[in-house]
Amino acid sequence: MKIRKILSLFLMLCLLAGCGAQPAAQETTHADDAVVIALDVNSEPAAGFDPAYGWGAGEHVHEPLVQSTLTVTNPDLTIGYDLATGYTVSEDGLTWTVTIRDDVKFTDGEPLTASDVAFTYNTVKEQSTVSDFTMLDSAEAIDDTTVQFHMNQAFSIWPYTMAVVGILPEHAYDSATYGANPIGSGRYMLKQWDRGQQVILEANPDYYGEAPKMKTVTILFMEEDAAFLAAQAGQVDVSYTSATYADQTVSGYSLEAYQTVDNRGLNLPATPRTTDAQGRTVGNDLTADVRVRRAINLGIDRQEMIDNVLAGHGTPAYSVCDQMPWYSDASEVSYDPEAAMQLLDEAGWTMGADGVREKDGVKAEMTVLYASDDSVRQALAADFANQMAELGISVQIEGVGWDTAYDRALSEPLVWGWGAHTPMELYNIYHTREGSDTALYSPYSNPTVDKYMDEALASDDLETAYALWQKAQWDGTTGVTQDGDIPWVWLVNVDHLYWVRDGLQIAEQKIHPHGHGWSLVNNVDAWTWSK
């Protein structure tokens, strides 16, 4: 592994500096309108730059850069316009009418019309394996500047979907070749893609908006160790990193931290242990008691986790949507181990001589799972286990692969990573699956919570929908927060860390979603070098 990382770094440095008989000296100069950025190897889009195959969407949502989108998310995560000039929705929520600009051209000179928009959405609905488009029936061009979306169901947060779908050219789209040779109308054009190594973007000279200040953007895909060495060698202007390197210094660079909703949390199976029709173990007798779940939530010292696991680079997490417009501050709790122990006492879990609580001859024990290739989740699981021991709950931790993690999480808590610029994250975690009596990722169901989320989706107004999403979290009587069912507990939001070369001004960042990658460069066109 180390050899591969060193070779990866060597290739990258050769690519940037040229390989000759003498080793390259540390790079200290840069063009005033160019930037070189090292991102994680997983940031490279496997299927290329095709929105129909996940570019810009999926788990790590970001702006597609080489394509335009109808809408955008503003820094406060409300909705703004890109191609769109306005939209309306019918009273039943089943027809969205969107008007678009008439001055936009693709990079091959052809005009972008509503027909391209309709083609894009119909193509994505048919082909996408990354995004869920079951809510869309079809898209239709009414005229050159008007497109209608016909929905299978009301979906109030459709503007958030429109913010991540890059528009394809109907006249020049071939699913077999487009990903590697995209024609778009966005701020940048793909100049070069060396698979496994780098992507070079060039500013689109015919872009309809403000001209990008950064004319050339080079993205290198590097392992974390190699990315750090590249910063030390001065061969990149920005390099992603993690808390592992937070205590280091790099000459000529500062360590910048960007807030996120990239959270880590634990599901707490909310039903008693049983076996489902597929023979899987479902539920957990310890966490089935809401008083135990509430005690666990109160007994987590989140700041201690941030300090000891994340080297101070994080924020406490209380929900899957902290700081989003649809967040309810009823989610927030204070660390209170005494109240936690009182709840466990009330639930009948009495402290044993060995420091582990018991009830009816059963020990308060559980296993917490984490992805075996994720050192941060492992450290969070270990820290959680130590904190629970103080309450009298014995926690064993176990690394697992994702091939078994989903099934095992139906009965055992798992350290998850979530966080997106859409309320659908709440829906996907807490809503009862159709045709089932439980949510998808962990056994839990509350008809009132379901009702609020269904009403939120059916609303014809985003502000009204936000309030309904908040009620699903807590309405004064029930919900998914501490005074409600608390079927998940949230630990930390992980800051995204980058080494940034002195003199580079990175534009204001939105709160980053889950995934340490392209979100940083959403607005790379607005970055500048100080004179």
165 pLDDT above the threshold of 80: yes
3-state helix, strand, coil in the chain (%, to 5): 30, 25, 45
Q: Which residues contact 454 (CB under 8 A, 6 or more apart)?
A: none
pLDDT digits (tens, 9 = 90+) for 448-460: 999 999 999 999 8
Answer yes or no: are the C-beta atoms of 200 and 217 closer than 8 Å: yes
End-to-end CA distance of the chain: 41
pLDDT digits (tens, 9 = 90+) for 271-306: 999 999 999 999 999 999 999 999 999 999 999 999
Task: Please report how many Cα atoms fall inside a 13 Å half-sphere around the Cα of residue 462, on the Cβ side.
Answer: 14
- Bridge partners of 188? 203
Q: Which residues contact 48 (CB under 8 A, 6 or more apart)?
A: 55, 178, 179, 180, 182, 193
pTM above threshold 0.75: yes
Q: How far is CA 126 from the centre of its chain?
A: 24
Task: Take residue 68 and report the two structure tokens written for it.
Answer: 């335009």
Q: Which of 19 and 154 is assigned the larger pLDDT?
A: 154
- What number of other Cβ atoms are within 10 A of residue 186's Cβ? 28
pLDDT digits (tens, 9 = 90+) for 182-204: 999 999 999 999 999 999 999 99
Please state the length of the chain.
Answer: 531
Q: How confident is the model at residue 62 (pLDDT cuts 50, 70, 90)?
A: confident
What single-letter amino acid sits at 108? D
Q: Which residues contact 20 (CB under 8 A, 6 or more apart)?
A: none
395 pLDDT above the threshold of 60: yes
214 pLDDT above the threshold of 80: yes
Tokens 């490279």 appear where?
A: 44
**What's the Rg (C-alpha) of the chain?**
25
